[in-house]
Amino acid sequence: MNKETHQNGISNMFLEAIVSSIFQRRAVRRCRVLLATIAGLVIAMAGVMEGQTLLDPGFESYALNSGAFVVPDSGPWSFSNDAGIVEPYSPNSSTGPLNTWSAMFAALEGEQYASTYAGGDTIRQVVSFDTAGDYIISVHAAAPEGSVTIPAVASLSLEDGEFTFTLQNNPIGETHTVVKGSSWSLCSAILTIDSPGDYTLGIQNTKWAPYFINYDALSVQPVPEPTVVVMLLSLGMAVVGVRATRRGTPRRQIGRVDRVLGGSSSS
């Protein structure tokens, strides 16, 4: 191998590295655009699945004054035991059994939220679904720390709280632990709707111990079918493959650049 041939070989190696790098960067950019498009399609299809309406997800339709607590007997939500609506600020309070509340956090949505105390408290709403499928039910939960004095009962130190979501008054998903002293955190579960119709959704405290859990900003959103996601991803990969084939491999790109520069690709 003479000196000129050796130098051409080295030049082609550098050229191949440069063109390959450019090709890869362009491919990455195209993939990012494609993935963004696929994500948009998935979100759009989730919107098409919507058929349910969750009324008053932030518990704002009840008229309260600052620091007040009420157990509504009308409206979209139903409450049991100590569950009710509060408007901050109010310390851990009680006027007796089944009338115990706490409002020590600022509201996450609007100015009010739900307050519950101990096991057995429930919050429920009948929701209409026009489309069968899987849905995500979620809520933000918080738990104050400290203690509460219940007249004619005792002064009790608060513990961590526990709850589950419910469908038709049956628990679904895992049991969620809300640590005492923790601010708003998002909790969720998957619920399956077998056919269109009205279903009772809710929250139920499960641990029989002294604790508060506050709830705000409930949501029910459809889950896109896995087959739809797979189909879109497969389509995206096919498009990438076709575009890569049409544009050629990095070595074919090198050949084009080589011809333009008048160089030799022989070794």
- Rounded to the nearest integer, the mean pLDDT of the chain is 82
d(CA 175, CA 160): 12
- Sequence-separated (6 or more) residues with CB below 8 Å from residue 1: 9, 267
Q: In what order do the strands lie in the sheet with 78-80?
A: 78-80, 122-129, 197-205, 161-167, 170-178
Q: Note the pLDDT of residue 53.
A: 82
Q: Cis omega before residue 89 (within 30°)?
A: yes
CATH number of 69-222: 2.60.120.260
Quick one: pLDDT band at residue 256, thresholds 50, 70, 90?
low
Q: What percentage of residues in the chain have a pLDDT greater than 90?
A: 64
Distance CA 135, CA 189 (A): 8
For residue 238, is pLDDT > 90? no
The pLDDT tens digits of the residues spanning 17-70 come to 554 555 566 655 665 666 556 555 555 554 445 546 899 999 999 999 999 999
pLDDT of 80 over the 60 cut: yes
Q: State the pLDDT at residue 239.
A: 53
The larger pLDDT score, comparing residue 114 to residue 33, is at 114
- pLDDT, one tens digit per residue, over 127-145 is 999 999 999 999 999 999 9
| Percentage of residues in the chain having pLDDT higher than 70 | 64
Which pLDDT belongs to residue 257?
47
122-129 and 100-103 as β-strands: parallel, antiparallel, unpaired?
unpaired
CA torsion 112-129-74-86 (nearest 10°) is: -10
Q: What is the pLDDT of residues 176-230, one digit of tens each?
A: 999 999 999 999 999 999 999 999 999 999 999 999 999 999 999 999 766 554 5
Structural domain spans, the chain: 3-49+226-261, 69-222
What is the pLDDT, as a whole number, of residue 233? Answer: 57
For residues 32 and 72, which has the higher predicted lDDT (pLDDT)?
72
106, 59, 53, 60: which is closest to 83 by C-alpha?
59
pLDDT tops 60 at residue 84 = yes
Assign 3-class secondary structure to the chain: CCHHHHHHHHHHHHHHHHHHHHHHHHHHHHHHHHHHHHHHHHHHHHHHHCCCCCCCCCCCCCCCCCCCEECCCCCCCEEECCCEEECCCEEEEECCCCCEEEECCCCCCCCCEEEEECCCCEEEEEEEECCCEEEEEEEEEEECCCEEEECCCEEEECCCEEEEEEECCEEEEEEEEECCCEEEEEEEEEEEECCCEEEEEEEEECCCCCCEEEEEEEEEEECCCHHHHHHHHHHHHHHHHHHHHHHCCHHHHHHHHHHHHCCCCCC
pLDDT of residue 33: 61
What is the token pair recorded at 44? 């759009």
Q: 240 versus 102: which is more confidently predicted?
A: 102
Q: Token pair of 142, please?
A: 């918080």
